[in-house]
Amino acid sequence: MSTMTLNAGEAVPAQKEATQPVAEQTEVKSRAANPNSQVDGTVGSPFCDDAKLRMRNVNVFYGESQAIHDVSLDIGRNQVVAMIGPSGCGKSTFLRCLNRMNDTIEGCRVEGELSLDGEAIYGPKVDVVPLRARVGMVFQKPNPFPKSIYDNVAYGPKIHGIASRRAELDEIVENSLRRAGLWNEVKDRLDKPGTGLSGGQQQRLCIARAIAVSPEVILMDEPCSALDPIATARIEELIDELRENYTIAIVTHSMQQAARVSQRTAYFHLGKLVEVNDTETVFTNPEHDLTEAYITGRFG
Amino acid sequence: MQTPTLFALLLLLVLVAYGTGFSRAIATARSRGGVRSLASLPNYYGVHTALWCGLPALVILGLWMLFDDAIIRTLVLGGVADKPETISGQNLLYAQIQNLAAGNLIGATTPQIQAAADHLVSLRQSGRWMQTTITLILAAGLGVYTLLRISPELRAREKVEKVLRIILLACACAAIFTTVGILMSVLFESLRFFQSVPVTEFLFGLHWSPQMALRSDQVGSSGAFGAVPLFTGTLMVSAIAMFVAVPVGLMSAIYLAEYAGNKVRAFAKPLIEILAGVPTVVYGFFAALTVAPFVREVAQSMGMEASSESALAAGLVMGVMIIPFVSSLSDDVINAVPQSLRDGALGLGSTKSETVRKVVIPAALPGIVGGVLLAVSRAIGETMIVVMAAGLAANLTANPLESVTTVTVQIVTLLVGDQEFDSPKTLAAFALGLMLFISTLILNFIALHVVKKYREQYD
């Protein structure tokens, strides 16, 4: 990693970026052609009006080394934001800041302002437990609990006391499984272990488990990387349906996937947010040379 | 030549065989275009030669040392004209001859014995000479033969691996045969015991008093061999021990695996494991001198009758002894639960304790159960603490404040001291050992089965 210094004020607000003259933009491109070159600030439009999640000047450290450098980004309500970038660029780390999953990693330190509906995520009085109930997460590798399918989905509602009666719980489980598109496949074997399902089914079970606690935001960390194309297609469809009710941030290594499911795309490079734009813009007319190099497959 | 010297010489020969085999393989390969033309790496040719040089010689040497004495004895005794008829008489005579040959016997000897002793000495000398010659000739001969057979077509690696596989198999068999041997020796002695005491009396009798008089007209000439009090005693002490060890061990494992930071863990885990290194005799002192009187005082202050040696004291200390066993096994199992499961639970908004209680422990449960069952077999087999702290009286009681005795303690007391080896009193020890062996075997079997059955559940 290059040992450049960054000052906090350098994150370029969207308005200013939008009004930049063309000449200056081409300069940005030529400056950034080398994948190891330095990145100053973010190009594109990292901010939006109706932001569900608002991040400003976020820095993340693992012990001494800095994983995220001064990232500012908004995630709009009922929007799917895809985060792409080469391995080790910090997109998963950034995602895990949003529900404070990084707290479980020893030596991890998060700086900057992060807020959910205007409430600080890292505030001194914030209890992570209700926060994580509001911001659910689906992981890279399907990780169903070694319990029955029913108990996997019912786990969240049970610990949060969402359902008081068995019938209510049954309804939540059925609804969640239906919305995850898994109900028809498992309705006859709800008492069988969740670990006995196929990989794609397990991942949909994990999504059902996440939506059973009715979160507002769902974070997905490469949810399809362990799945075959058919299972991937089902999950992508599902993400599109879930967008009606949830705000979704998804990390992915597949650019096609980012293009298919997201409205906005953020490109990370070496711990910095290089470009954020509408997905279509990013994939048809990227502003930054690094973004272009990545999506056209010149590295990454 | 003395045996250690012979071994050293043999080792030297083996090393030479390895070296020459190695270099000969390279030399034969040179004319064919280098090492790549060999069927195996040159190293394997060396090992192949060394194995053929060393192994047969070692086997012959081993057999020789095994049967050496018996053959010499037969030869020497065969040379004695009027030897005694009985085996014990022959043993005595042979011991005399041996002592004389070694120069230990001072005093009157008959010329006959003197001649036999001289015979023995000469036999031993020629035997040793033959041993040396045969071993070395065999080693050198086979080494040279193998060396001459080295050619690029010889598949040395396959041959070496075959021999290695046989050696590995032999090592695996050693453990199995030992177990079978122990079982057999215990089994046959037990069968002899059951000839004098019926199995049903042993298994279901409520009274244990293994006194067998030497003569039938003595007092207490008939003993009682009902093993039930011993097994209830064992069960009670083990149950008390598990009552202490399982909760404490499990919770310390949970703390170490889930809550403790790296520093605390690095400090606390070795400290807990020190407990496992304390000799059981020391635990025994502690139980007998500190815990047992304390238990009695506490019981008396609460108005209860307690004997100075109690099942409770022994069980408590045994529980402490088993804590590191349970905690370290459970710690490993809990650590083996994938982090992704914890992340999944935390990501749904579980608290740390909910994650541990509802996800981590259920996932680790099979392993924990396996560990606990192994600890139980350990508790059942433990002897020293119980000898010192639980007493010797075979009381059939459910009161942990009374003194009880366990199977292992009785085995010790039955076999300590002067006794006839064929009286039921001594043989009872083998029957008890057999029962103990069978019960721990069953427990281990269940433990392994439980662990195996549920092992892959979270993969």
Can you give the pLDDT at residue A181? 84
Bridge partners (DSSP) listed for residue B21: none
Query: Which residue in chain A has the smallest CA separation from B352?
Result: A129
pLDDT for residue A230: 84
CB contact under 8 A, B349 and A193: no
Whether residue A155 and residue B261 make contact (CB cut-off 8 A), yes or no, is no
Answer whether A104 sits within 8 Å of B351, measured CB to CB: no
Q: Residues B149-177: what's their mean pLDDT?
A: 91
Q: Measured between CB atoms, does A101 come within 8 Å of chain B?
A: yes
Q: Is pLDDT of B90 > 60?
A: yes
Domain that holds residue A291: 39-295
Domain annotation covers residue A158: yes
Could you tell me which residue, B397 or B55, shows the higher pLDDT?
B55
Select from A128, A155, A217 the residue whose CB has the most chain B CBs within 10 Å, as the one to mutate to test that interface: A155
Q: How high is the mean pLDDT of chain B?
A: 86
- Return the sign of the alpha-carbon dihedral for residues A102, A104, A109, A112: positive
User: Which of A195, A206, A209 is facing B457, going by the closest CB pair?
Assistant: A195
Q: Write the secondary structure of chain B as one string of H (helix), E (strand) and C (coil).
A: CCHHHHHHHHHHHHHHHHHHHHHHHHHHHHCCCCHHHCCCCHHHHHHHHHHHHHHHHHHHHHHHHHHHHHHHHHHHHHHCCCCCCCHHHHHHHHHHHHHHHHCCCCCCCCHHHHHHHHHHHHHHHHHHHHHHHHHHHHHHHHHHHHHHHCCCCCCHHHHHHHHHHHHHHHHHHHHHHHHHHHHHHHHHHHHHHHHHCCHHHHHHCCCEECCCCCCCCCCCCCCEECCHHHHHHHHHHHHHHHHHHHHHHHHHHHHHHHHCCHHHHHHHHHHHHHHHHCCHHHHHHHHHHHHHHHHHHHHHHCCCCCCCCCHHHHHHHHHHHHHHHHHHHHHHHHHHCCHHHHHHHHHCCCCHHHHHHHHHHHHHHHHHHHHHHHHHHHHHHCCHHHHHHCCCCCCCCCCCCCCCCCHHHHHHHHHCCCCCCCCHHHHHHHHHHHHHHHHHHHHHHHHHHHHHHHHHHHC
Give the pLDDT of residue A15. Answer: 42
Range from B230-234, B261-265, B415-419 carrying the lowest mean pLDDT: B415-419
B262 closest CB neighbour out of A101, A106, A137: A106
Which two three-digit tokens encode residue B15?
A: 């090393």
In a domain, A21, yes or no: no
Q: Does B417 touch chain A (CB under 8 A)?
A: no
**How far, in Å, CA of A251 to CA of A262, rounded?**
11
Average pLDDT (A188-211) is 90
> Does the residue A102 lie in any domain?
yes
Mean pLDDT computed over B105-111: 71
Q: Is the pLDDT of residue B19 over 70?
A: yes
Place of tokens 């992915």: A252
CA–CA gap between residue A109 and residue A59 (Å, rounded):
8
- Taking the Cβ of residue A195 and every Cβ of chain B, the question of whether any pair is shorter than 8 Å is answered with yes
In this predicted structure, what is the pLDDT of residue A29?
45
A157 touches chain B (CB under 8 A): no
Percent of chain A with pLDDT over 70: 86
Q: What is the pLDDT of residues B165-175, one digit of tens each?
A: 999 999 999 99
Q: Which residues pair with A109 in a beta bridge?
A: A61
pLDDT-derived band at B1, boundaries 50, 70, 90: low
pLDDT on residue A152? 92
Report yes or no on A191 lying in a domain: yes
Q: Which residue of B has its CA nearest to A193?
A: B457
What is the rounded distance in angstroms from the CA atom of residue B94 to the CA atom of residue A140? 80
Query: B302-345 pLDDT, tens per residue?
Result: 888 878 888 899 999 999 999 998 998 899 889 988 888 999 99
pLDDT of residue B248: 94
Query: According to the model, what pLDDT value does residue A20 have?
Result: 42
**Of A73-82, A106-115, B7-16, B214-223, minimum mean pLDDT range:** B214-223
| Domain at A71, CATH number | 3.40.50.300
| Mean model confidence pLDDT for chain A | 83
Delineate the domains of chain B, giving CATH numbers in brackets.
Answer: 3-154 (no CATH), 224-458 (1.10.3720.10)
Q: Closest Cα of chain A to B446: distance in Å?
A: 22
Instruction: Give the highest mean pLDDT range of A106-110, A206-210, B77-81, B109-113.
Output: A206-210
- pLDDT at position B79, please? 77
Say if residue A5's pLDDT is above 50. no
pLDDT of residue B96: 81
Q: Is residue A34 part of a domain?
A: no
- Chain B residues touching residue A213 (CB < 8 angstroms): 348-349
Residues of B in contact with A217 (CB under 8 A): none
Q: How far is B333 from A56, CA to CA, in rounded Å? A: 41
* Cα–Cα dist A85/A270, whole Å: 9
**Burial (Cβ within 10 Å: 0-12, 13-18, ≥19) of residue A141:** middle
A100 touches chain B (CB under 8 A): no
Q: Give the pair of three-digit tokens for residue B215.
A: 């003569």
pLDDT at A4: 42
CA B239/CA B236 separation, integer angstroms: 5
**What is the pLDDT, as a whole number, of residue B222?**
62
Check whether A35 has a pLDDT greater than 80.
Answer: no
Q: Are residues B45 and B22 in contact, defined by beta-carbon separation less than 8 angstroms?
A: yes
CA distance A101 to chain B (A): 7
What is the domain count for chain A? Answer: 1
Is the pLDDT assigned to residue A228 strictly greater than 90?
no
Strand order in the sheet with A51-62: A65-76, A51-62, A108-116, A119-120
Check pLDDT > 60 for residue A71. yes
B247 — contact with chain A (CB < 8 Å)? no
Q: Name the percent of chain B lying above pLDDT 70.
A: 95
Edge-first strand listing for the sheet containing A80-84: A43-44, A272-278, A264-269, A80-84, A247-251, A217-221, A135-138
Q: Is A209 on the interface with B (CB under 8 A)?
A: yes
